[in-house]
Structure 1
Amino acid sequence: MTISLQHSINVNASPATVYQALTNLDQIARWHCGQVNGEVAIGQTLTLESDEGPTFTWTTRELIPSSKIVQQCTQGPGSSTGKALTFQLRESGQHTSIELSHDGWDPADPHLPRCNTHWGHVLHRLKAYVDQ
C-alpha cells in the first residue's frame, strides 16, 4: 500500500501565470532556490539542484496548459525514483488553488516527513513569486 502527500495553497494569480511559473525555466529559476536545467515538455527532463541539498530529475508525463502538470521522478536520492508529482490548478474566484499530489510513498519511508515539509516550503516560495 502506498500513500500520497497532498498539499494545497491559494495564490493571487491566474492559472496561466502559475502554469508559466511551473513550466518556464527562467521563472522556475527565480523561485526554486537552486540550479535549474532541462525542459518542461512531454517526455523531457527537468533537473533541480537545490541549494539546500539533493538533486532531482523529473520527466514530464502530462501537460494541460493553465490546468495540470504531471511529472515522474527519474533520478533522486533514497526512494524518490518512480514517484509521481501532480500540480492541479483550479481557478477559484479571484484566486488560483494549487493542489500538489506526490504519489507512491510507503507509509514507513523515513524520508516521507522531510519531503512532506519540503513541499510546503516549495508552495510558499511559489506563492511569494506569483503573488508579486
Structure 2
Amino acid sequence: MADILHRIGVTASPDAVYDALTTIDGLAGWWTEETEGSTDIGGVVQFRFIPGGFDMKVLESQRADHVLWEVADGPEEWIGTRVRFDLKREDDFTIVLFKHEGWEKQAEFMHHCSTKWAIYLMSLKRLVETGKGEPSPNDVMISNWH
C-alpha cells in the first residue's frame, strides 16, 4: 500500500480549519464549488470536478482534531482509500497533517493526485486565512487529467 502525505501550517484556528473540512460551504470554498451531501458521520459528500468526481463517506469527525473519509465512488484507484486530516496547534499555527492512504500501488495517476492535493491544500490555507480559496474550477490545471 502507498500513501500521499502533505503538511501545511495555517494562521487560523483549528476550529476554522475544521469548519472548512466539515461543512458543505467550507468544502466548496477550497476543493470544488460543486459540493453537496451530508457531512455528518455516516453521511456521503459528493464532490464534482472536470471531468468526474468522488463520493466520500464520512467515517470520523472530531471537533478541531481530525476528519476521516472513505472513498465510496470515483476513479477505480481511489475506491476504498481513505482521506485523513489531522489538526494540531503549534505556536501561532494550526498544522494540517494530510494523508490519502491505502493506494494499492504507486502509479502515474497517484503522482498527479499528490500534486492536485497540494494545490487544494494551499486553497484551504488561503480560504481560512483570507476568506477566499481557489476551488475547482478555479484551481491550477496541471494536465489533461486536470
CA distance in 2, matches of 1:33, 1:43: 21
Equivalence for 2:115 = 117
Are positions 1:55 and 2:53 aligned together?
Answer: yes
Equivalence for 1:76 = 74
CA distance in 2, matches of 1:37, 1:70: 17
Structure 2 residues without counterparts, runs of 5 or longer: 131-146
**DSSP 3-state at the match of 2:79:** coil
Alignment: residue pair count? 130
Whether the 8 Å contact between 2:41 and 2:59 is mirrored in structure 1 is yes
CA distance in 2, matches of 1:74, 1:109: 20
Q: TM-score, normalised by structure 2?
A: 0.84
Give the C-alpha shift of residue 41 in structure 1.
Answer: 1.2
CA distance in 2, matches of 1:31, 1:4: 22
Give the C-alpha shift of residue 26 in structure 1.
Answer: 1.4
1:57-95 Cα distance to aligned partner (Å, 9 max, x none): 000111110010000000001311100110000111111
Within 5 Å, give how 1:78-93 maps onto structure 2.
78-93=76-91
RMSD: 1.2
Counterpart AA for 1:26: D
**DSSP 3-state at the match of 1:87:** strand
**DSSP 3-state at the match of 1:29:** helix
Residue identity (%)? 27
Which stretch shows the higher mean deviation, 31-40 or 71-80?
A: 31-40
Equivalence for 2:34 = 35
Which stretch shows the higher mean deviation, 26-35 or 65-74?
A: 26-35
Counterpart AA for 1:24: T
Are positions 1:126 and 2:124 aligned together?
Answer: yes
**DSSP 3-state at the match of 2:108:** coil
Give the C-alpha shift of residue 39 in structure 1.
Answer: 1.4
1:93-120 Cα distance to aligned partner (Å, 9 max, x none): 1110001001111334331101111110
CA distance in 1, matches of 2:116, 2:30: 14
CA distance in 1, matches of 2:31, 2:101: 21
CA distance in 1, matches of 2:126, 2:99: 20
